[in-house]
Structure 1
Amino acid sequence: MPLVSQPVGRRERNKQEKLDRITAAARELFAERGVDEVTTQEIADKADIGAGTLFLYAKTKGELLLLVQNSTYADALVKGRSAAAAATDVLDAVMAIVRPVVECNRKQIDNGRTYLREMVFGDPSEPHHRDALDLSVQTEEAIAAVLLRDERTTAQDAAARAHIVSAIMFISMAATINAANPVDDVVQEIRDQVRVLLPE
């Protein structure tokens, strides 16, 4: 007998609708003014919910930023994987994954840097933080898969190099010295370092 999916109940629909409103409100306000200049009360007001309800979905402003940025990061990773599939050179394919992630992170530079800080120092038991860490793992897996195109590279080496690429990317995006640099400069800095990692 085939399984029949159950319709989503009203309570679940209401929860999802509130989450969508919160995400949209936070995304808009963070993009306009940056995460540090927005209060949780403003987000609650814009989402047309009470502050107490807001905290049921995210306990801190940092978690709200993770919620917003995670969906953008996920889209960037899909775009990067697709571009990498079309690239024939290994370095170009790695950078095809990296570029959309950098672009996503630098749409609002302060928000991007705060997002990275939340990933490192946030509460890993919090679901939005877990999602962010999972996206980081997925990025490394995508890079490792590209590195394995080189037949001389073992799975262990590919995973280690992908982890190093992730660290390079993270530092380049988070570094204060790069705060004013355009995306192309940050991507070039990452490319120059990644090139040294790859076998000749």
Structure 2
Amino acid sequence: MTLASSPVGRRERNKQQKLDRIMDAARELFAQYGVDEVTTQQIAEKADIGAGTLFLYAKTKGELLLLVQNDAYAAALDQGTQDAAAESGVVEAVLALIRPIVECNRAQVDNGRTYLREMVFGDPDEPRHREALDIVAKTEEVVATTLQRAGGIEEIRAAASARIVSAVMFLSMAASVNVDSSVDEIIQQIAQQLRVLLPPSTEGRG
């Protein structure tokens, strides 16, 4: 490493360390109190940085929530992708895929619902919102692949059906009527709709 590159490396490391502290602080406070009850000042103090520094990484509390939740949702999707691979029935495979996402969303219900609102209504050009939308797109891609593999559904129809599955899942998690619903209850609701969407002849096909 040259002397000229050393300061850049240190700056990047310092930025990453601050970002890690911000994420840890936001994650802990949001989990403990809920996003609506936490202020950006509390997060800055817990991360041991100034409020001005915090705003360099996230300008709003919604962006901070996205910063934390995007990682969690991406990990849940990875887990669901692995779980779905072990299922041969198309409905079972899709349910295995989305269960970790529902579990992630319901870990703190108010946070999960706020995250979905930020995802849908936030500025798509803002990096954290764009990352959230990328997760939605990746979810639809994985659902479509699962429908093709487990259900023998053609590519074009699988892609269209995947968008419907994604909409059903996110609406089920966001709906006010489901605020008190458990993960199993939401999965059951989604399963009922999947069985209407997916022809019976596709279930159980390899």
CA distance in 2, matches of 1:195, 1:63: 36
Q: What are the ranges of 5 or more consecutive residues in structure 2 without an aligned counterpart?
A: 201-206
**Correspondence for 2:203:** none
The residue identity in structure 2 corresponding to 1:20 is: D
TM-score by length of 1: 0.95
Provide the residue aligned with 2:32 in structure 1: 32
Question: Distance in 1 between the 2:124 and 2:49 partners?
Answer: 27
- In the alignment, the residues of structure 1 paired with residue 88 and residue 154 of structure 2 have an alpha-carbon distance, to the nearest angstrom, of 19
Match of 1:72 in 2: 72
* Residues 92-114 of structure 1, C-alpha deviations (whole Å, 9 max, x = no match): 11011110000000100000000
CA distance, structure 2, for counterparts of residue 195 and residue 14 of structure 1: 51
Give the match for residue 111 of structure 1.
111
Q: How do residues 1-200 of structure 1 correspond to structure 2 at under 5 angstroms? A: 9-149=9-149, 150-151=151-152, 153-200=153-200
Q: When the two structures are aligned, how many residues end up with a matched partner? A: 194
Match of 2:204 in 1: none
SS in 2 for 1:9: helix
Distance apart, 1:78 and its partner CA:
0.7
Query: Quick one: which amino acid aligns to residue 138 of structure 1?
Result: K
Describe the SS at the equivalent of 1:132.
Answer: helix
Return the offset for 1:183.
0.6
Deviation at 1:85, TM superposition (A): 0.7
Structure 2 CA distance for aligned equivalents of residues 171 and 63 of structure 1: 21
SS of the aligned residue for 2:124 comes to coil
The 3-state SS of whatever aligns with 2:123 is coil
Distance in 1 between the 2:171 and 2:48 partners? Answer: 37
| Aligned mates of 1:14, 1:191 — CA distance in 2 | 46
CA distance in 1, matches of 2:16, 2:49: 13
Deviations 1:142-174 (A, max 9, x none): 1000101233x2211101100000100011000
Once residues 58 and 112 of structure 1 are traced to their aligned partners in structure 2, the CA distance between those partners, rounded to angstroms, is: 18
TM-score (norm 2): 0.92
In structure 2, C-alpha distance between the alignment counterparts of 1:19 and 1:103, rounded to whole Å: 26
User: Deviation digits for residues 162-196 of structure 1, max 9, x if unmatched?
Assistant: 00001000110000100001110011101110111
Q: Which deviates more from structure 2 when the two are superposed, residues 108-117 or residues 186-195?
A: 186-195
Identity of aligned residues (%): 66
Task: Structure 1 unaligned segments of length 5 or more: list them.
Answer: 1-5
| C-alpha distance in 2 between matches for 1:85 and 1:144 | 13
What's the Cα RMSD here? Answer: 1.2
Report how far residue 88 of structure 1 moved. Answer: 1.1
Q: Which amino acid aligns with 1:17?
A: Q
